[in-house]
């Protein structure tokens, strides 16, 4: 028996060493993690009104061993995160949205900030950036529909594009002797990049300038040209738009490979979202046996995204009473599942995707307390 116990010791020591090595690798610098999160789903895809990114930052340096995922950061969820030794909370909905004028113990959102800072826990929110991402919330919600092809209802534009500026101004310089003066002047305007090429007008060789301008620079360029009309001719002003991204944007318009009845679709959605009940508005002239081929999907609050979209069914968390009436009057069925019920299930997929993307460098856990505040009783 003694010799058997002795033989077990090296194995136990190797196990302890393995655990120590694993633990020592199980962290990331906060800034490195934020960079990786942005590479995973760029914050540039978020809506302009949204408040995304790092909302609460402990004093640096700050390392992250445990990333805690939640849909909504309530005080109960914060307590859970602290008990689980979270270093960074990824809250899909931003707990700080409207500006705070003070940080006191008076309101629950102020208390969240205080508790986070006291316990050196960061708070990060991706919100609509994850709505738009190809592998994001709306893509997950569409998985519940069955086999289909989908595209964004409102496609995002490429955040980074080689062309600089918002407008392009092109014009011919009338006289060669004026070329240096014109180029020198427009190059002196901040936010302008200049290229030139040869152009022929009425059998006369001229130089055509092409200026890429920011919105502010455009005003200065136009002012210069309006005061010096003798220098140029054949002017064009073009608006530069970044290209649309095929798989990135708000909402999803999904075309099923095969039509199913509305009743069948309802059951599929309930299974996917793990719900016993959903709210249904039948479109005018529709029944539970009506076929569904095209579904417009928007996680959360879908009124503004879904409005005007042609589909057999709208699937979202919530819509206003009058928007539901408008959709139904057009023969469009509407399924409402409550706001966060159309988002929360994504967190399990997110945990797995981030684990693979970050090469398991940190622990990633999903809140067990977080839930929609509304219940059917």
Binding site, annotated residues: 93, 131, 339, 343
CA–CA separation, 29 and 11 (whole Å): 32
CB atoms within 10 A of CB 251: 28
The answer to whether 209 touches 173, Cβ cutoff 8 Å, is: yes
Distances (CA, A) of 261 to 256, 334, 355: 12, 14, 38
Q: Which residues contact 104 (CB under 8 A, 6 or more apart)?
A: 110
Distances (CA, A) of 200 to 170, 188, 193, 197, 232: 14, 27, 23, 10, 14
CA–CA separation, 331 and 41 (whole Å): 36
Backbone angles phi, psi at 276, to 5 degrees: -90, -25
Structure tokens at 59: 């004093």
Structure tokens at 248: 């990135």
Tokens 């062309």, residue? 163
The answer to whether 94 touches 88, Cβ cutoff 8 Å, is: no
CB atoms within 10 A of CB 157: 14
What's the helix, strand, coil split of the chain in %, to 5?
35, 30, 35
Residues forming the annotated binding site for a divalent metal cation?
93, 131, 339, 343
Structure tokens at 321: 């009473």
User: Torsion angle of alpha carbons 266, 268, 271, 273, nearest 10°?
Assistant: -70
Q: Please give the full DSSP string across 325-342, using - where no structure is assigned.
A: HHHHHTT-EEEE--GGGG
CA–CA separation, 335 and 345 (whole Å): 17
Structure tokens at 123: 């708070």
The answer to whether 226 touches 137, Cβ cutoff 8 Å, is: no
């Amino acid at each position: 028996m003694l010799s058997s116990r002795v033989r077990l010791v090296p194995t136990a020591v190797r196990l302890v060493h393995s655990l120590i090595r694993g633990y020592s690798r199980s962290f990331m610098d906060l800034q490195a993690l934020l960079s990786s999160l942005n590479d995973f789903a760029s914050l540039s895809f978020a809506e302009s009104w949204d408040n995304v990114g790092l909302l609460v930052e402990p004093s640096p340096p700050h390392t992250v061993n445990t990333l805690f995922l939640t849909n909504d950061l309530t005080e109960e969820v914060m307590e859970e995160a602290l008990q689980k030794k979270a270093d960074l909370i990824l809250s899909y909905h931003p707990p700080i949205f409207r500006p705070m004028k003070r940080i006191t113990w008076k309101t629950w959102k102020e208390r969240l900030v205080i508790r986070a800072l006291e316990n050196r826990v960061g708070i990060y929110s991706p919100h609509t950036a994850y709505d738009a991402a190809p592998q994001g919330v709306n893509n997950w919600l569409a998985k519940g529909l069955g086999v289909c092809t989908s595209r964004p209802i409102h496609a995002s534009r490429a955040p980074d594009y080689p062309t600089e500026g918002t407008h392009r101004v092109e014009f011919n310089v009338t006289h060669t002797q004026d070329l240096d003066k014109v180029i020198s002047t427009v190059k002196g305007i901040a936010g302008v990049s200049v290229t030139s090429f040869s152009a022929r007008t009425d059998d006369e060789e001229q130089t055509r300038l092409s200026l890429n301008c920011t919105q502010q620079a455009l005003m200065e360029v136009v002012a210069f040209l309006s005061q010096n009309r003798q220098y140029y001719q054949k002017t064009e002003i073009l608006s530069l738009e970044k290209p649309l991204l095929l798989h990135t944007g708000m909402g999803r318009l999904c075309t099923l490979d095969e039509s199913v009845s509305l009743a069948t679709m309802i059951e599929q959605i309930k299974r996917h979202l793990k719900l016993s009940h959903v709210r249904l508005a039948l479109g005018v002239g529709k029944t539970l046996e009506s076929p569904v081929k095209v579904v417009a999907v928007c996680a959360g609050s879908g009124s503004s995204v879904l409005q005007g979209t042609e589909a057999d069914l709208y699937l979202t968390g919530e819509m206003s009473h009058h928007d539901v009436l408008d959709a139904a009057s057009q023969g469009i069925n509407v399924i409402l599942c409550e706001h966060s019920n159309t988002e929360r299930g994504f967190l399990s997929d997110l945990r797995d995707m981030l684990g693979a993307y970050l090469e398991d460098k940190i622990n990633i856990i999903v809140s067990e307390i977080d839930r929609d505040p509304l219940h059917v009783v």
